[in-house]
Copies of this chain bind each other. A is one copy, B any other.
Amino acid sequence: MPDKVKSVAEVVRSIPDGSHIALGGFAIARNAIVFAHEVIRQQKKTLTLSQGVMGMETDLLVGAGLVSKIIVGGGSLDRFGPVRCINRARDNGAIVHIDSSSLSLAFGYLAGALGISFIPIKSLLASEMMERLETAAPDYLRRGKCPFTGEDFVFLRGITPDVSVVHVPIADSNGNCWIHGPRWENEEQAKAGKRLIVVTEELVPTEYIQREPERTVIPGHRVEAVIHQPFGAHPTSVFGCYDYDAEHLKLYAECHKTPERMNQYLQDYVFGPRDHWEYLEKVGGLRRMNEIKAEAIFGY
């Protein structure tokens, strides 16, 4: 039985320039950093990214100049500051940005995952996002009325990314995934994708999954590839596995303040290391990973 377990390099090679990639992180949690790094190393260009609440993975890709368009609900690095590369790109008109809300993204992915081409929502009405998008992105949303009640709605187009990427703590080699802690829009985002790629901290036997199948958030038959990379989300956190790395996030939050320092960061931490293991050595290796490792009781 052919294995779905693949290297991140192999998986990223299969993604063409111009793809729409849905990313599964939230601010500084469960960002697919190992995936973002490899996309940068392979210089995949003119990407569209979609995400509920953007974090470091998205900021890295925009900061690396690979992104043409974002479809997002919001974004920040929590208390470590805003997503400055993305904000700079928005300020300068360097990217097309469809800005809506967390629930709008969840609804859009839900529609995509269910195979319905649109879904009504009550968010966004009377907002400036609506005002701007109605003219700028009539293929993304428009006003409409309920055919039964006549109530005003925004009709959101279902979002069906070319590739969805989700970072999870546990998966088996068929791609059955468990997620500990909150899941934000991951379930819908994953199943909305035409292709689905999973990055997992731990690769477990299927027998382990079969013990508690109600925990399976993403069923394996939908998954195309499983990338096994411990500490693959560093410096963002994976609940139950490790905490965010505050030291490195502070460093990043300094670097991304200017394009020059951001470029240097990319040289040092993305282009420099050959792979994620070398990156992990660069950011403190075993000793540091041990420091941020989760405690069993707390999960962080």
* A residues at B contact (CB < 8 Å): 107, 114-122, 139, 142, 144, 146-149, 151, 153, 155, 157, 179-181, 183, 214-215
Contacts and interface: CB of A to CB of B under 8 A. Distances in A.
Question: Assembly of this chain: how many copies?
Answer: 2
Contacts of A148: 117-118, 139, 142, 155, 157
A214 B181 contact: yes
A117 B214 contact: no
A121 B117 contact: no
A221 to B, nearest CB: 16
A180 B214 CA distance: 7
Contacts of A146: 117-118
Contacts of A107: 114
B147 A144 contact: yes
Nearest to A141: B148
B117 A119 contact: no
A139 B144 CA distance: 18
A282 to B, nearest CB: 33
Most buried by B among A117, A121, A144, A179: A117
